[in-house]
């Protein structure tokens, strides 16, 4: 066919046709549309569907592939970004890369993001309706391939001589000493400012070495299409608490208000918290001076973090505040089991969060999901020591929003004071909810309180109990949870008398206690408790 033989000089638009369930490419000399499961041999573009239900990525491939996703290849992928108006763009006509992000609206709300470098791309845009995108219900994988010249990807740029390289900004070239004694914060900020102001795809490189840092804030918005922070070094926080007070913040390293941030490289954030933990009075008093969080992400969109380490934070290790589409993997967090308030990862008012394949040993919650968070996946987490994986605490402050759509799966907890937990305060100032949560395939090794809903949460000697919690807990699934309990009560569902729990499901729960008595369960104010499969301990009745 003519369109297979002739190369299009550039794209005009890419439109999702909901009525025909197809994609259309339109260009000067090329137009095609193909329904799902259509293939054409030869090099071209690969539009793939994950099993969750919607198109997630577009790949430029050399050969016909049979697997889902993009094979590693120099022309691998166009990553997509979306605008508030619901359009898409191929960005920056002569940038070293393009970035298009297709949101995958799958069953568990996964958002996949892929990256590549590509040649000169003509900036184009077109209408794009995310609400109807990929709305086919069959959920099967499909490919659409066609023979398209590589010049299509280059647009009007010069014909190919390899990829443009990302601009590199090395903190040592901006004056960082890396001797572990002199504060390198100014050099880091100077390198960030230069990288943030550069066009295209940039790298901020922190080579091997030990860097002493006071509080630093890496903030946008940035001109850069994507900033890759390659951390190879060992960062040490100053132990001078007055430095954080002077900076007017409660965190050590902050990344804020940036799109398409990548943080990787295997480096370490050392909060040097042991020198400060004795000043932390928060475990004893409600009103207390909060110590700095080691690594905070604020207002980020489309972020990927991989392979970093955090040790001995003063307070939280990692905190996400108002982030969207955040993907993290291979995170290693370490602090002693008796270190106060050293939560591994805390989520606050964030959505579309995916944390995978990480090991957390700490003195508080390994991961805590705070108010206003939704569409969260926590998978293959190794937790312990610590306080387990928690939702909450909720219902303490005015203005808190609901927590919903959480999946915790394939996790192992060892020697923790709690397993999987939902905790809410009594005397809540307003009504809110925690709903649609699944805890699946969890292994407990000598864990106290393996399954617990606690709506009378109070970490202090006394709390205000004038009224029951106003947090409505509903549609909670505990599935395939097994192992050993360090306490006789392995399942505790202590719900609110004011707004009882609803639709709590237990499926295949098998928890043993190595003591004089078998494990038991305890329930209060649970409406609609449903059980199936193996049940040990025997289910309680509310």
Catalytic residues: 387
- For residue 301, the SS3 value is strand
Q: How many residues does the structure list for the chain?
A: 542
Contact predicate 466/508, CB 8 Å: no
Looking at residue 82, the DSSP 8-state letter turns out to be B
Q: Can you point out the beta strands (E) in 54-147?
A: 55-61, 77-78, 87-90, 124-127
- For residue 540, the SS3 value is coil
Q: How many CA atoms lie less than 13 Å away from 157 in the CB half-sphere?
A: 24
Contact predicate 510/536, CB 8 Å: yes
The closest of 191, 189, 171 to 232, measured between CA atoms, is 171
DSSP one-letter string for 391-430: EEEESSSTTPPPEEEEEEEEEEEES-S-SEEEEEESS-SS
Burial of 308-321, coded b for 16+ CB within 10 Å and e otherwise, reads bbbbbbbbbbbbbb
- For residue 357, the SS3 value is strand
Contact predicate 42/5, CB 8 Å: no
- For residue 64, the SS3 value is coil
> How far apart (Å, rounded) are the C-alpha atoms in residues 68 and 114?
13
Spell out the SS3 assignment of 231-299: ECCEEEECCCHHHHHHHCCCEEEEEECCECEEEECCCEEECCHHHCHHHCCCCCCCCCCCCCEEEEEEC
């Amino acid at each position: 066919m003519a369109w297979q033989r002739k190369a299009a000089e550039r794209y005009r638009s890419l439109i999702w046709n909901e009525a025909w369930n197809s994609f259309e490419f339109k260009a000067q000399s090329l137009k095609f549309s193909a329904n799902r499961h259509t293939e054409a041999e030869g090099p071209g573009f690969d539009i793939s569907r994950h099993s969750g239900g919607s198109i997630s990525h577009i790949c430029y491939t050399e050969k016909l592939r049979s697997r889902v996703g993009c094979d590693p290849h120099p022309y691998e992928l166009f990553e997509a970004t979306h605008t508030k108006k619901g359009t898409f763009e191929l960005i920056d006509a002569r940038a070293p890369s393009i970035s298009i992000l297709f949101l995958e609206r799958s069953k568990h709300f996964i958002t996949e993001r892929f990256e590549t470098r590509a040649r000169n791309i003509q900036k184009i845009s077109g209408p794009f309706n995310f609400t109807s995108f990929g709305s086919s219900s069959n959920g099967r994988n499909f490919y659409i391939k066609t023979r398209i010249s590589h010049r299509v990807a280059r647009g009007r740029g010069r014909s190919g001589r390899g990829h443009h390289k990302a601009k590199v900004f090395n903190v040592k070239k901006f004056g960082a000493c890396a001797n572990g004694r002199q504060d390198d914060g100014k050099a880091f900020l100077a390198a960030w400012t230069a990288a943030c102001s550069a066009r295209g795809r940039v790298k901020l490189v922190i080579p091997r070495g030990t860097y002493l840092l006071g509080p630093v804030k890496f903030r946008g918005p940035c001109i850069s299409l994507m900033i890759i922070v390659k951390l190879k070094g060992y960062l040490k926080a100053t132990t001078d608490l007055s430095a954080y007070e002077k900076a007017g913040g409660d965190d050590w390293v902050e990344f804020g208000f940036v799109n398409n941030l990548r943080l990787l490289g295997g480096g370490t954030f050392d909060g040097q918290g042991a020198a400060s933990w004795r000043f932390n009075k928060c475990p004893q008093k409600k009103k207390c001076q909060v110590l700095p969080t080691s690594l905070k992400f604020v207002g980020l969109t489309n972020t990927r973090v991989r392979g970093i380490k955090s040790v001995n934070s003063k307070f939280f290790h990692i905190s996400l505040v108002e982030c969207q589409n955040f993907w993290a993997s291979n995170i290693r967090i370490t602090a002693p089991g008796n270190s106060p308030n050293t939560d591994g990862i805390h989520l606050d008012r964030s959505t579309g969060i995916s944390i995978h394949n990480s090991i957390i040993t700490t003195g508080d919650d390994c991961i805590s999901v705070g108010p206003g968070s939704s569409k969260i996946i926590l998978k293959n987490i190794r937790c312990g020591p610590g306080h387990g994986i928690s939702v909450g605490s909720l219902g303490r402050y005015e203005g808190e929003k609901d927590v919903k759509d959480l999946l915790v799966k394939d996790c192992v907890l060892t020697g923790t004071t709690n397993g999987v937990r939902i905790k809410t305060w009594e005397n809540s100032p307003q009504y809110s909810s925690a709903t649609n949560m699944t805890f699946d395939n969890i292994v407990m090794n000598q864990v106290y309180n393996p399954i617990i809903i606690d709506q009378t949460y109070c970490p202090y000697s006394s709390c205000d109990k004038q009224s029951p919690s106003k947090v409505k807990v509903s549609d909670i699934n505990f599935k395939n949870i097994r192992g050993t309990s360090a306490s006789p009560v392995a399942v505790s569902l202590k719900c609110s008398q004011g707004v009882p729990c609803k639709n709590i499901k237990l499926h295949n729960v098998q928890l043993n206690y190595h003591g004089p008595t078998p494990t038991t369960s305890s329930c209060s104010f649970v409406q609609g408790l449903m059980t199936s499969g193996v049940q040990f301990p025997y289910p309680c009745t509310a």
